[in-house]
Amino acid sequence: MNITAVYRNPWPFAIMAFFAVLISCIVVFILFAGRNRMELVHANYYEDEMRFQQQMDRVNRTRALPAGVAAAYDAKAQTITISLPPEHARLAASGRIELYRPSDSTLDRHLPLALNAEGAQKVDANAMRSGLWKVRVQWRAGGDEFFLDQSVFITKPSS
């Protein structure tokens, strides 16, 4: 009896099986990737880019303003004070305030901008829940648009 006739080397079959599985995986991946649509560009990408550039221009104009453009929370008075340059109040600035709650969009609030003579506006925070809020103010003064995006953390006094 010949011992080599009974014993077969498994390596040639293992190598062929490995390459067959590898090629099958590559084919499946190519079919999967080919059927998924990944749009990297919007249908109106030019308009989106223009809106983004306008927003960046607003932010840059706001950064160039003198100090004092801010949104601050006063826990004792339970108010958010939005301070803009007094010149903008004299120019009859118009705009809107968005109080954005990142964790719960149902709590978001939108208010008109109504500055006093010093360029400030107080927003009552009594009805607002404790936590992180983003104050976004977009306004127009003297023909230019500006944008402020600042986070405030509202805390309620303990009873």
Task: Judge if 71 and 135 occupy the same domain.
Answer: yes
Task: Judge if 71 and 137 occupy the same domain.
Answer: yes
Determine contact, residues 122/83, Cβ cutoff 8 Å. Answer: no
How many residues are listed for the chain in this entry?
Answer: 159
Tell me, yes or no, whether 127 lies in a domain. Answer: yes
pLDDT of the residue at 133: 92
Task: Judge if 107 and 29 occupy the same domain.
Answer: no
pTM of the shown model:
0.67
Task: Judge if 27 and 85 occupy the same domain.
Answer: no
Tell me, yes or no, whether 107 lies in a domain. Answer: yes
Tell me, yes or no, whether 78 lies in a domain. Answer: yes
What CATH number is given to the structural domain containing 129? 2.60.40
Tell me, yes or no, whether 108 lies in a domain. Answer: yes
Tell me, yes or no, whether 52 lies in a domain. Answer: no
Sign of CA dihedral 21, 28, 41, 61: negative
**Cα distance between residue 15 and residue 8, in whole Å:** 14
**Cα distance between residue 119 and residue 141, in whole Å:** 12
Tell me, yes or no, whether 21 lies in a domain. Answer: yes
pLDDT of the residue at 147: 92
Task: Judge if 91 and 140 occupy the same domain.
Answer: yes
Tell me, yes or no, whether 50 lies in a domain. Answer: no
Count of alpha carbons within 13 angstroms of residue 43, beta-carbon side: 0
pLDDT of the residue at 39: 65
Task: Judge if 25 and 72 occupy the same domain.
Answer: no
Tell me, yes or no, whether 61 lies in a domain. Answer: no
Number of domains in the chain: 2
pLDDT of the residue at 4: 54
Task: Judge if 149 and 87 occupy the same domain.
Answer: yes
pLDDT of the residue at 135: 94
Q: Which residues pair with 141 in a beta bridge?
A: 144
Task: Judge if 106 and 145 occupy the same domain.
Answer: yes
Task: Judge if 24 and 72 occupy the same domain.
Answer: no
pLDDT of the residue at 37: 76
Mean pLDDT by 10 residues, the chain (159 residues): 68 95 97 80 77 91 85 91 88 90 88 90 91 92 90 82
Domain around 30: 9-35
**Cα distance between residue 36 and residue 106, in whole Å:** 33
